[in-house]
């Protein structure tokens, strides 16, 4: 029973391991864009295990690849040649846009960002890192040390000197009143001033769209402008694509491409969606950066055969079925539908996003004040209506996060929007 499972969960797992809902649910199985709980309730899934079920639940092509690989060998470590790992690395290197790319696989986005920080600080011989305000990059000690979101930063201790930069949130902060070009210029001026007061940094790490931060983003071109400043000082640009990669934004395959007038980043990190639920993360970097380590290193579980088989099958399906194009088309319809609803709900401050990565920020009507109680109420009402969504935001978790599998069809988008409309109207 779920109630018994909840008690057992609380008895053996940490108090800080968050659970959604006043009565947490156990998801037992899924198919397509739907999941079922242990009581037999069916839900339309608009969160995908935190943007991880990228194509579909129980996608036959992926489950077949996993099953066949499991019948051969699950794991051997990176000490041995691994054909699925090489094949997936070849495809990701080509898709990354980074010249002379090398790929290192990890087990999570946290570990991917941790690895990118190790590479950047070693390559640049600096432990100073620039990060964005309202950012989130993972749960490890170093990743927490560059997280600019107080809700997800349990300690100020860090092996890094982190300096936080303006620009990740377009509609809040001291430059929000400016037009897009003015916003970019003000953020660049702030970055330039900041760099004048510190030793040269190793890198800037930034999410093109901030995930945990509530799907916020700067105007297109901000990171290209930042890069011009960084290149003058030899600093690297790391694009955290853990949530934005693989076509989720619709307009681009990678989030960095909205800022790519000066070419690709020096490094990008990825995870979540590529495995469709299997544990895959990784770093792509220019060879000179990836090969800068002068000590031995391996990965026991990064790139293991069964996860690589899943990633290959999942990526092949995504490309052959143009799920990036589907995210652009269906996501565009969904955003417009939600904006029309939001115009009639005073508590909705903003509907933002790209493709199938959509945020709805709530605020107390007539103000810019955070409204976390409303976000929690909408989350509960959506679940009661048969829809699973997420929460986030750097302002007391007042943003709803919507990120369905990229195979979402128009009918399902309309169904989810109708449930969300009822849930949003319920808080008035």
Cα angle 33, 28, 375; round to 5: 65
**Which stretches in the chain have pLDDT values below 50?**
1
| Cα end-to-end span (Å), the chain | 34
Pairing of strands 348-354, 267-270: unpaired
The model carries a pTM of: 0.95
Residue 395: the pLDDT is 66
CA 260 – CA 288 distance, rounded (Å): 21
Buried b (16+ CB within 10 A) or exposed e, 377-404: bbbbbbbebebbbbbbbbbebbbbbbbb
Residue 150: the pLDDT is 81
Q: Which CATH class is domain 64-320?
A: alpha beta
Domain limits, the chain:
2-58+322-425, 64-320
pLDDT in tens, 317-371: 999 999 999 999 999 999 999 999 999 999 999 999 999 999 999 999 999 999 9
Q: What's the full length of the chain, in residues?
A: 428
- The matching CATH number, chosen from 3.40.50.300, 2.170.130.10, 3.30.160.40, 3.90.1150.10, for 2-58+322-425 is 3.90.1150.10
Residue 11: the pLDDT is 96
């Amino acid at each position: 029973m779920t109630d018994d499972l909840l008690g057992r969960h609380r008895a053996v797992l940490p108090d800080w391991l968050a659970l959604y809902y006043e009565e947490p649910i156990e998801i037992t199985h899924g198919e397509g864009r739907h999941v079922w709980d242990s009581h037999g309730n069916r839900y339309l899934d608009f969160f995908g295990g935190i943007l991880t079920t990228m194509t579909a639940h129980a996608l036959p092509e992926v489950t077949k690849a996993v099953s066949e690989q499991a019948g051969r060998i699950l794991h051997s470590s990176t000490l041995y040649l691994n054909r699925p790992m090489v094949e997936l690395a070849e495809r990701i290197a080509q898709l990354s846009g980074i010249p002379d790319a090398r790929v290192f696989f990890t087990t999570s986005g946290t570990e991917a960002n941790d690895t990118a920080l190790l590479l950047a600080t070693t390559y640049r011989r600096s432990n100073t890192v620039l990060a964005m305000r309202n950012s989130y990059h993972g749960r490890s000690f170093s990743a927490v040390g560059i997280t600019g979101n107080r809700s997800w930063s349990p300690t100020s201790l860090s092996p890094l000197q982190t300096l936080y930069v303006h620009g990740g949130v377009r509609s809040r902060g001291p430059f929000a009143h400016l037009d897009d070009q003015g916003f970019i210029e003000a953020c660049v001026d702030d970055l330039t001033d900041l760099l004048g007061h510190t030793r040269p940094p190793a890198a800037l790490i930034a999410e093109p769209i901030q995930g945990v931060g509530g799907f916020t983003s700067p105007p297109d071109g901000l990171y290209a402008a930042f890069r011009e400043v960084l290149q003058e000082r030899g600093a690297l640009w790391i694009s955290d694509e853990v949530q934005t990669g693989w076509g989720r934004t619709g307009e681009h395959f990678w989030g960095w491409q909205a800022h790519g007038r000066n070419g690709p980043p020096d490094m990008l990190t990825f995870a979540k969606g590529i495995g469709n639920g299997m544990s895959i993360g990784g770093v792509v970097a220019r060879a000179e950066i990836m090969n800068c380590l002068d000590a031995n290193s391996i990965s026991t579980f990064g790139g293991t055969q069964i996860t690589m088989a899943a990633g290959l099958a999942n990526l092949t399906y995504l490309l052959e079925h143009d799920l990036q194009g589907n995210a652009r088309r269906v996501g565009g319809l969904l955003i417009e539908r939600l904006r029309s609803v939001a115009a009639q709900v005073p508590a909705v401050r903003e509907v933002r996003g790209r493709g199938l990565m959509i945020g709805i920020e709530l605020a107390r009507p007539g103000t810019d004040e955070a409204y976390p109680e409303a976000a929690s109420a909408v989350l509960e009402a959506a679940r009661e209506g048969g829809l699973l969504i997420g929460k986030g935001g750097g302002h007391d978790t007042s943003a709803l996060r919507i990120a369905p599998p990229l195979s979402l069809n128009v009918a399902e988008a309309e169904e989810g929007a109708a449930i969300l409309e009822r849930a949003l109207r319920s808080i008035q």
